[in-house]
């Protein structure tokens, strides 16, 4: 396994990211070493909130929330998944699978021997974090999830599977605009719209992660700024664009070249949206586990996330620990609620931990 490590200088002078790095070296199934980075902030004796990120971001996503949570007496642990942030980056597509990420982060969890954890998982941070709880339930006290899921769709027809396969294999690579428009359409429940995201990510070798995050989140940018910034990117001059923002630079920082981007490119294709997915059996067992999970479980989803809107309903219905909790719908929280509504989601986390008893 070839493993890349982003040079430390790529992270110099990041705005609002003053946190000391912590590193843990885990072994892969093949015996390779992967160094995983995490932030550890706040009082060492405070309740621990494990903040897990998704794709294509990293722990920088939590920079606004960390001071809010630590000022409330919480200890924040925020890792970077392998392939992201300051963690090492396996360099081949076949290195990445849903199960690999669960295994890697499970070993990281064991080596750090964290206990009494409160999970906050969003996007892939929920998909992976929820599976960590299944494997190591005694380490967790509470769960808060936002804009995520535990995909399990054994009923998808062969016709839909073939349509998605044909699209992935034969359609032209969608543009960034086409992909964004498709994600907002209503047929995503069949896996067709999400396939646009999967195809765009994998077939765009130098996926413009910094530009994407800037365009998603910095709505004060004019149309012309976005167009000119994208023009510089398409000409291979992204580092020279006068229109790059601090936020865009920060989300691009872990990826000094396209060879470092295999993780964010590969991971969307690992979301188990179809009934022939290799993760299907593990997802089934996970849902069987959560059907009996009685520890406090809270959903705080956005009302305007086109990818996960409505996914909270099954958790609220099925998980015993979710009964009679004060589940919240965050207005205009977007997909990256940590960026859009950091104060609101932090307050939800703090109040939930304070108001729910911890098992002895």
Question: What is the structure's pLDDT at 191?
Answer: 66
Question: What is the structure's pLDDT at 143?
Answer: 98
Both tokens of residue 92?
């081949």
What is the distance between the alpha carbons of residues 76 and 202, in angstroms, rounded to a whole number?
32
The domains of the chain, with CATH numbers, are 3-153+279-355 (3.40.50.1820), 158-270 (no CATH)
Calculate Rg over the CA atoms of the chain.
Answer: 19
Active site residues: 123, 305, 335
What is the distance between the alpha carbons of residues 250 and 315, in angstroms, rounded to a whole number?
33
Both tokens of residue 126?
């929920």
What is the residue whose two structure tokens read 């990818």? 307
Residues in the chain: 360
Which H/E stretch holds residue 320?
Answer: none
What DSSP assignment string belongs to 15-65? TT--PPPEEEEEE-TTS-EEEEEEEEES-TTSPEEEEE--SS--GGGGTTH
Contact, 62 vs 338, CB < 8 A? yes
Instruction: Tell me the β-bridge partners of 31.
Output: none
Strands 33-41 and 22-27: antiparallel
Question: What is the structure's pLDDT at 360?
Answer: 43
What is the distance between the alpha carbons of residues 161 and 312, in angstroms, rounded to a whole number?
25
What is the residue whose two structure tokens read 């980075």? 37
Contact, 243 vs 228, CB < 8 A? yes
Strands 3-4 and 89-90: antiparallel
Of the CA atoms within 13 Å of residue 354, those in its CB half-sphere come to 10
Contact, 66 vs 76, CB < 8 A? yes
pLDDT tens for each residue of the chain, 360 residues long: 899 999 999 999 898 999 999 999 999 988 899 999 999 999 999 999 999 999 999 999 999 999 999 999 999 999 999 999 999 999 999 999 999 999 999 999 999 999 999 999 999 999 999 999 999 999 999 999 999 999 999 988 888 889 899 999 999 999 888 888 887 765 544 567 889 999 999 999 999 999 889 988 887 766 656 666 666 666 665 665 655 789 999 999 999 999 999 999 999 999 998 888 999 999 999 999 999 999 999 999 999 998 898 899 999 999 999 998 999 999 999 999 999 999 999 999 999 999 997 654
Contact, 302 vs 147, CB < 8 A? yes
Residue 155 has a CB neighbour count (10 Å cut-off) of 7
What is the distance between the alpha carbons of residues 178 and 180, in angstroms, rounded to a whole number?
5
Among 15, 132, 68, which Cα is nearest to 346's?
Answer: 68
Cα-flanking dihedrals φ and ψ of residue 53, to 5°? -95, 175
User: 293-318 burial string, b = 16+ CB within 10 Å, else e?
Assistant: bebbbbbbbbeebbbbbebbebbeeb
Cα 69 to chain centroid distance, Å, stands at 19
Residues ≥6 apart with Cβ < 8 Å to 96: 83, 90, 262, 263, 266, 267, 270
What is the distance between the alpha carbons of residues 159 and 117, in angstroms, rounded to a whole number?
42
Among 346, 349, 356, 347, which Cα is nearest to 296's?
Answer: 356
Residues ≥6 apart with Cβ < 8 Å to 112: 24, 38
What is the residue whose two structure tokens read 């992935």? 168
């Amino acid at each position: 396994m070839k493993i890349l490590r982003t040079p430390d200088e790529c992270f110099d002078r990041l705005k609002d990211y003053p946190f000391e790095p912590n590193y843990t070296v885990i072994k892969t199934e093949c015996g390779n070493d992967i160094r995983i980075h995490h932030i550890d902030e706040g009082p060492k004796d405070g309740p621990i909130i494990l903040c897990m990120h998704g794709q294509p971001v990293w722990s920088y996503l939590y920079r606004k929330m960390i001071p809010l949570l630590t000022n409330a007496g919480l200890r924040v642990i925020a890792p970077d998944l392998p392939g992201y942030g300051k963690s090492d980056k396996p360099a081949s597509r076949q290195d990445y699978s849903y199960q690999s990420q669960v295994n890697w982060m499970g070993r990281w969890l064991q080596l750090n021997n964290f206990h009494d954890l409160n999970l906050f998982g969003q996007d892939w941070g929920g998909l992976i974090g929820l599976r960590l709880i299944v494997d190591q339930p005694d380490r967790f006290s509470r769960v808060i999830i936002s804009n995520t899921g535990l995909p399990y769709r054994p009923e998808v027809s062969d016709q839909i599977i073939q349509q998605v396969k044909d699209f992935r294999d034969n359609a032209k690579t969608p543009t960034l605009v086409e992909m964004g428009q498709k994600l907002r359409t209503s047929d995503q429940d069949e896996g067709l719209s999400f396939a646009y995201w999967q195809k765009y990510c994998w077939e765009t070798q130098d996926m413009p992660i910094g530009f994407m995050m800037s365009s998603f989140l910095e709505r004060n940018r004019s149309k012309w700024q976005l167009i000119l910034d994208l023009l510089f990117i398409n000409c291979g001059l992204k580092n020279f664009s006068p229109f790059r923002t601090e936020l865009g630079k920060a989300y691009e920082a872990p990826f000094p070249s396209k060879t470092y981007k295999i993780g964010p490119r590969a991971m969307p294709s690992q979301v188990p949206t179809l009934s022939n997915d290799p993760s299907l059996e593990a997802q089934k067992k996970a849902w069987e586990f959560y059907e009996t999970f009685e520890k406090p479980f809270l959903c705080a989803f956005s009302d305007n996330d086109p990818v996960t809107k409505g996914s909270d309903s099954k958790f609220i219905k099925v998980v015993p620990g979710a009964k009679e909790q004060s589940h919240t719908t965050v207005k205009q929280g977007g997909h990256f609620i940590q960026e859009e509504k950091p104060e609101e989601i932090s307050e939800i986390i703090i109040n939930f931990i304070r108001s729910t008893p911890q098992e002895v």
